Amino acid sequence: MINKETLIKQEKEILYNKGVTSNPISGTGFMPRMNVSSARTTSNRLYGGYNSSNTDRLFAAIDYKEVITSLKDALKGKTNTADFYNSLHSMLINKMGAQFTAIGLLQEKSKCINIKLTDKVGGTYSSRVFLSDDTNPIVECFNTRETLVKRDSKFLKLAYLQTPAVAIIPLMSVGECLGVMVVGDNKVQENADLYTLVANHYALFMHNAELMEQANAHANTDTLTSLSNHRGFQEILSNELEKAEKNNSTLSVVMMDVNNISKINRELGHAKGDEVIKLVAEKVKQNIRSNDKAGRYGGDEIAIILPDTDTNEAKYLAEYLTYSLSCCFIDDVGPVKVSVGIATYPQCGKEQEKLLVSAEQAMYISQSKGYKDGMSAIISASDFNFWDDMALRSYAEVLTKRHAQLGVNFEEELVNKFANEEISSQHHLEELATSLAGAIDAKDTYTKGHSTSVSKYSEALARALNMPENEVQRIKLGALLHDVGKIGIPESVLKKPTQLSDDEWEVMKQHPTIGAEKVLMQNEALKDLMPMVKYHHEHIDGSGYPCKLKGDEIPLEARIVAVADTYHALISDRPYRKGLGVEKACEILQSGAGTMWDAELVRKFIQIAPALATTI
C-alpha cells in the first residue's frame, strides 16, 4: 500500500542525513475546546517522572535503523487505519521518546479538522478546529502543507499534559492533504524528518484504505440506482437466510420486472429506460422498512428481501408499491407498470437459488397474466400448480434467461416432480407430457415447438402405415417426449450457435440415455415409451448412438420418430441457416434412406410430406 520509491528515499534521508533543519514558527497559541474522554483525579501520580530531563536521558541515542524496521513491522498485517495508528503511536512513544501523538482528519462537510490525541498512558482527547480559524497552527499546516514546529504544546490547553515541543505535519497522499499528524517530543527538531516519514506512511495507508472501501462499496452497488447490484443482493440474501433458519422465521423475496422496458429502450432510447428504472428504485427505497433490503437483480428487475415477512405481508407491500408506481407518469411512457413475483422461505424453498427461481417464475406468470383494473397481477410461488402449462413455460424461461449455469439442479427437481406424479388417466398423462415437452422446447428458442411437431409427424407416419390406434397414440406420446433428455444438457451446448466441438458433441449425445433412464424409467406409466426416446438417433447402418444398433435391432417406433425428427430439423430455421423447403428436405431424407433411416419409412413419409406442410 506504500509507495516503495518514496519509502526508500525517505529512509535514506533519515539514516544518512540526520542533521535535519527545523522550521520553528511562533504562533499565537492553540485555543480549541478540548473534550477530555476520561477525567483524571490522579494526574500527579500518573504523570510523575515524565519530565523532559528523564525523557532526554532515556532516549539519548535513537537507533534510526531500528525505528525504520519498527515502522515496516507496524504496517504488516494491518487492514484498518485504527490498528495502524495504534502501532505507530506505540512505536513513537517507545522508540522515539514522544510524549503524545494526535491525528487530525479533514471533515469536508463540516469544514473542520477533527483531532484525536493519545498520550503516553493511552488517555485520549478530542477536539475540533474549524478551517475558518486560519491563525490556528493546525489550520496553517493544513493550508500550507508544510511541517510546523512549535516550541511547546501549551496552546493545546490540556491541564494534565506535559508541554514538550510539537511537530504538526500534513498528511499528504498523491498530492492531497487528508489532515495533520501532531507529535509532542522535546527532540522534535532533530526527528522532524522521521516524523514526516511516519506521517506519509499513515496518509498513504489511510488513502489506500479509503480507496479499497470505495471499491468494495462500488463492487456491490449498482451505479444507476444506488441499490445493491446482483452480487451484493446475493450476499445479503445469503446472510438473511442464515438468520431466518437460525431464528426459525419466514423471509420473502419480491421480484419486480419493469414492463415493456425493451420497447422503451428501443423506441425512446436507453436514457428514458434508465429514468424508468431509477424511478422504480426510488419508490422501492422510499417504501420498504429499515430492515428490508433491495437490489437491482437484473437489467430491468429489482428484488426486495423482506425478513420476518410471510407471503400475505409481502403481497401487501407489493400491492402498495405497484399502486404507487401506477400513479407516477413519465413523459412519453405514461404510468410505470411492473410484473411482481413472490417466493417465501421456507414454504417455497429453503435453498437460496431455488427461492430466487421460484420468485422469477412467479414474476413471469404475473407478466403473462397482465393487469386487472389497471393493476399488476401479483403472483406468489405458492399460488400456482407447478404442472400448469403457463407455470412450466415460465419455469423454463427462468432457466433459460438467468440460470443456465445452475440449471441441472432445478431440472432434476422438475424431473423428480414428473417421475413422482401419479398418473390418473391417459388424458392426464398427455397433459403432463405436453407441459414437459413445452418446457424443454422453451430452453431453446431456435427449436420452439419442435417436440409438438415431431409428435404430429410421427403420428401421421404411423397412421400412413395403418398401425393400430393404441400404437399410434403411444408413438404420438413417445415422440412428444423424444428430446426429454435435453433437460440435462447444459445451455452452453444446447444453444451454441456454431458447430459443436468433439467434447460438446459427446455431451449432446447423452440426451437419449438421460431421457430414457433418468426421466421415463422413474415413472411406471412411461416405461413403454423408453425405446422411442433412447433409440431415435440410431442409424440403420449402425453409425448412430447411443448403442449403435443396426437395421431391425432398432424398434420400429424409434425408426418412425427418427424420420419425423430429422424432417422437422431440416425444415426449421437454425442460427446458422434458414429452414429448407419440403422438396429439399425430402431429397436429403432420400439420400440417407437405407443407411441412416429406414428406407420404407422414408418412402412413405415423402409421400405424405407435402400434405403435412399445409396442415401442420
Convert the pLDDT of each residue in 534-567 to its tens digit: 999 999 999 999 999 999 999 999 999 999 999 9
pLDDT at 109 exceeding the cut of 90: no
Q: What percentage of the chain has pLDDT greater than the value 70?
A: 77
Q: Where are the domains positioned within the chain?
A: 4-218, 220-384, 422-616
220-384 adopts what CATH topology?
Alpha-Beta Plaits (3.30.70)
pLDDT on residue 382? 84
pLDDT on residue 596? 95
4-218 adopts what CATH topology?
Beta-Lactamase (3.30.450)
C-alpha cell at 286: 422510499
449 pLDDT band, cuts 50/70/90, is confident
pLDDT on residue 269? 86
141-178, pLDDT tens digit by residue?
Answer: 999 999 999 888 777 777 666 778 889 999 988 888 99
pLDDT at 443 exceeding the cut of 80: no
Report the Cα 314 to chain-centroid distance in Å: 23
Q: What's the burial of 575, exposed, middle or buried (CB within 10 Å: 0-12/13-18/19+)?
A: exposed
What would be the CATH architecture of the domain defined by 422-616?
Orthogonal Bundle (1.10)
563-607, pLDDT tens digit by residue?
Answer: 999 999 898 876 666 778 899 999 999 999 999 999 999 999 999
Task: Report, as an integer, the average pLDDT of 504-526.
Answer: 86
Q: How far apart are CA 220 and CA 125, in angstroms?
A: 36
Q: How far apart are CA 353 and CA 402, in angstroms?
A: 11
pLDDT at 28 exceeding the cut of 70: no
30-82, pLDDT tens digit by residue?
Answer: 333 333 333 333 333 333 333 444 444 344 466 767 777 777 777 776 777 88
pLDDT on residue 176? 87
Same fold, 4-218 and 220-384: no
DSSP β-ladder status, 293-296 and 371-372: unpaired
DSSP β-ladder status, 100-107 and 176-184: antiparallel
369-387, pLDDT tens digit by residue?
Answer: 766 555 678 888 888 765 5
Strand partners, 101: 118, 183
Q: What's the burial of 359, exposed, middle or buried (CB within 10 Å: 0-12/13-18/19+)?
A: buried
Task: Report, as an integer, the average pLDDT of 92-119.
Answer: 88
Question: In angstroms, what CA-CA distances link 42 with 33, 39, 45, 46, 125?
Answer: 22, 9, 6, 6, 17
Task: Report, as an integer, the average pLDDT of 1-11.
Answer: 51
